């Protein structure tokens, strides 16, 4: 049985000389067991025939928003597919995708699709290198679209360089990896706390900290890609978050609100990841009115906040995994080990702002993972997205034990 057995893949074909390679791509995907449907733009038909694809797929090729006075239901096609793979994706289509321009069936499906989307760009060297193309690709990547790297070599224009459509065999490998990954944590409920908490002093002032929420948000985004259902309990953070049908974001302000939301969901959760920088103290009696300036000093009496990780650690079932973070500036291992034990965690992720470009506020982080069985894993400085993948991989390994 092929690795893509029964997977429903919608292939989008746009105007590029490399559209002929899509014929091989469709065949290879089918050989792996995938069920393939094809949608073509008008200009792609100048390069390769509709009949080729309809014969290969034993199904009509979709290309118009209406056909024979009948409306083609782009929503249905987008819902049918488990993956929408646009290969080749021309510079023109990439630009339309970036700006949400819908002037054909392919872009209408793209805008209404609920499934993951991949693009395999193909164009001439100068178009590829143009700042606007690169910026479009960056935007598409930021909204969660996977970009398949282009090949480098001889181009139809006679020039040589980057811009070639990836080889069909390479695309199929990427698609196979995608389907393996997208099932890794399927059926799992993951809860992630992230960001800072704000503890009110009065209606306009608060005690907070410098956490950006980036690490927790990247964890949530990567976990849904692995098929998990994620509840992200997020303190005040300005970081943008990719939307995804498996991701539920719950906004909170204070530590108490964060704990309340975590407790509500506690029983259905398979894995807790405590990435929030929770304020340890709150103002005992926040003022209901804005505090006015006076000639004398102001004393704030602080009282301890609930410890969310500790509360869950004490009450969690043995089949529930708990993962925490330890941000330390000294005695890294001793401090992390004591938090791991005290809060009954399965492993703790250690990081320190003493490493350049690491921890609070940065897009990169250098972590070590300390398991409760004493194993310590050291990682290099990586983007928070890559760090998130490493952490989720450890969680996956624990689930398999």
- Apex 23 CA angle, 65 and 180, nearest 5: 90
SS3 354: coil
Minimum CB distance to ligand CTP, residue 80 (Å): 41
Question: What's the rounded Cα separation, in Å, for the pair 302 and 305?
Answer: 9
Nearer to ligand CTP, 119 or 278 (CB): 278
> Pick from 84, 274, 347, 362: which binds ligand CTP (CB under 6 A)?
274
CB 219 within 8 A of CB 193: no
Minimum CB distance to ligand CTP, residue 361 (Å): 16
Among 318, 286, 313, 319, which residue's Cα sits nearest to residue 301?
Answer: 286
If one asks whether residue 394 binds ligand CTP (CB under 6 A), the answer comes out as no
- Apex 132 CA angle, 130 and 15, nearest 5: 80
Minimum CB distance to ligand CTP, residue 145 (Å): 31
CB 276 within 8 A of CB 211: yes
Q: Considering only 232-240, 321-329, 361-369, 383-391, which stretch makes contact with ligand CTP by CB under 6 A? A: 321-329
> Pick from 118, 308, 350, 391: which binds ligand CTP (CB under 6 A)?
308
Q: Considering only 59-67, 96-104, 199-207, 271-279, which stretch makes contact with ligand CTP by CB under 6 A? A: 271-279
Q: Which value, in Å, is the radius of gyration of the alpha carbons in the chain?
A: 25
> Pick from 148, 155, 321, 326: which binds ligand CTP (CB under 6 A)?
326
Question: What's the rounded Cα separation, in Å, for the pair 68 and 80?
Answer: 22
Question: What's the rounded Cα separation, in Å, for the pair 118 and 106?
Answer: 13
Report 158-197 residues binding ligand CTP (CB under 6 A): 193
Q: Considering only 27-35, 85-93, 270-278, 383-391, which stretch makes contact with ligand CTP by CB under 6 A? A: 270-278
> Pick from 325, 347, 362, 370: which binds ligand CTP (CB under 6 A)?
325
SS3 66: strand
Which residues in this chain contact ligand CTP in the complex, by CB under 6 A? Answer: 193, 255, 274, 276, 278, 280, 305, 307-309, 324-327, 339, 343
């Amino acid at each position: 049985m092929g690795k893509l057995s029964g997977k429903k893949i919608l292939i989008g074909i746009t105007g590029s000389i490399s559209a002929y390679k899509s014929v091989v791509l469709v065949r290879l995907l089918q050989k792996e067991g995938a069920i393939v449907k094809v949608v073509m733009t008008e200009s792609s038909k100048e390069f390769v025939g509709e009949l080729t694809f309809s014969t290969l797929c034993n199904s009509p090729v979709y290309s118009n928003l209406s056909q024979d006075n009948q409306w083609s239901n782009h929503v249905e096609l987008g819902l049918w597919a488990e993956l929408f793979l646009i290969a080749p994706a021309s510079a023109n289509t990439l630009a339309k995708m970036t700006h949400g321009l819908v002037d054909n069936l392919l872009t209408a499906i793209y805008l209404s699709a609920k499934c993951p989307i991949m693009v395999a760009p193909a164009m001439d060297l100068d178009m590829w290198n143009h700042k606007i193309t690169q910026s479009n690709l960056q935007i598409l990547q930021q909204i969660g679209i996977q970009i398949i790297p282009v090949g480098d070599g001889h181009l139809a224009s006679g020039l040589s360089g980057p811009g070639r459509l990836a080889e069909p065999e390479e695309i199929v490998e990427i698609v196979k990896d995608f389907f393996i990954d997208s099932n890794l944590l399927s059926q799992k409920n993951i809860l992630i706390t992230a960001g800072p908490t704000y503890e009110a002093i009065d209606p306009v002032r608060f005690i907070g900290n410098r956490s950006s929420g980036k690490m927790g948000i990247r964890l949530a985004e990567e976990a849904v890609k692995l098929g998990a259902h994620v509840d992200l309990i997020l303190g005040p953070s300005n970081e943008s978050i990719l939307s995804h049908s498996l991701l539920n974001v719950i906004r909170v302000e204070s530590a108490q609100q964060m704990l309340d939301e975590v407790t509500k969901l506690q029983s259905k959760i398979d894995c807790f990841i405590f990435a929030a920088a929770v304020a340890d103290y709150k103002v005992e009696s926040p003022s209901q009115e804005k505090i006015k300036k006076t000639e004398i000093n102001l004393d704030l009496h602080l009282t301890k906040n609930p410890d969310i990780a500790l509360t869950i650690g004490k009450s969690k079932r043995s089949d529930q995994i708990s993962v925490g973070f330890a941000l330390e500036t000294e005695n890294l291992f001793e401090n992390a080990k004591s938090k791991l034990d005290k809060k009954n965690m399965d492993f703790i992720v250690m990081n320190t702002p003493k490493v350049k470009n690491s921890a609070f506020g940065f897009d990169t982080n250098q972590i070590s993972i300390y398991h409760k069985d004493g194993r310590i894993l050291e990682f290099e400085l990586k983007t928070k997205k890559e760090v998130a993948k490493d952490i989720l991989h450890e969680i996956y390994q624990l689930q398999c034990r």
